[in-house]
Amino acid sequence: MNRLCNVTKGVDEEALGSLNRTRLRTSKAIHVLSVGPMDCGSMVHDALLDEPNWQLTIATTSPELWAIPEQESIQVAILASTLTEFELEDASLLIRQRWPLAKILLIGAGEGSLDCALYDDCVAPVAAPEFLLATIEQLAALWYEWGSRNVAL
């Protein structure tokens, strides 16, 4: 999979069947950006694709990450443990620049591989899917909290 793809869950399927556009809506999804390889069997892929209320954008390469419009509302960015130190730093800096409120979750050891200021939390590559989902939800809650503070100002 070497292209950008979006997978959205949470569409009201009854509305699609009836084509009643007043009922056609998506639930308030958490928009997650995954940076790095995304194959069936990977931790992020397996945890997110079967869950409702998630919008997953995948960038497997740096050019794909650059191609994502700034207007996208990214709440949580997940950086794969398979990225090199340079790729981790480059992706983190771009995410901080384009989506300053986005929370960055590093899959990996964290220590030594990336400056602490460039990510918000770290999960071990062998963590249970439930733990990964709970961490993403906590980071998304922080995103919503910061976003509402900025609107109030």
Q: By C-alpha distance, which of 118, 123, 145 is closest to 136? A: 123
Q: pLDDT tens digit string along 38-87? A: 765 567 777 776 667 788 888 988 899 999 999 999 999 999 888 888 99
pLDDT of residue 152: 47
- Domain regions of the chain by residue span: 5-152
Q: pLDDT tens digit string along 4-43? A: 333 333 333 343 333 333 322 334 688 999 998 876 556 7
User: How far apart, in Å, are the Cα atoms of 77 and each of 8, 37, 41, 68?
Assistant: 16, 14, 19, 12
Q: What distance in Å separates the CA atoms of residue 147 and residue 153, rounded to the nearest whole number?
A: 10
Q: pLDDT tens digit string along 77-125? A: 999 888 888 999 999 999 999 999 999 999 886 555 677 788 899 998 8
Domain covering 5-152, topology = Rossmann fold (3.40.50)
pTM value is 0.73
Confidence band of 142 (pLDDT split at 50, 70, 90): confident
| Secondary-structure breakdown of the chain: helix, strand, coil percentages, each rounded to the nearest 5 | 40, 20, 40
Q: What distance in Å separates the CA atoms of residue 147 and residue 138, rounded to the nearest whole number?
A: 14
pLDDT of residue 130: 87
Confidence band of 151 (pLDDT split at 50, 70, 90): very low
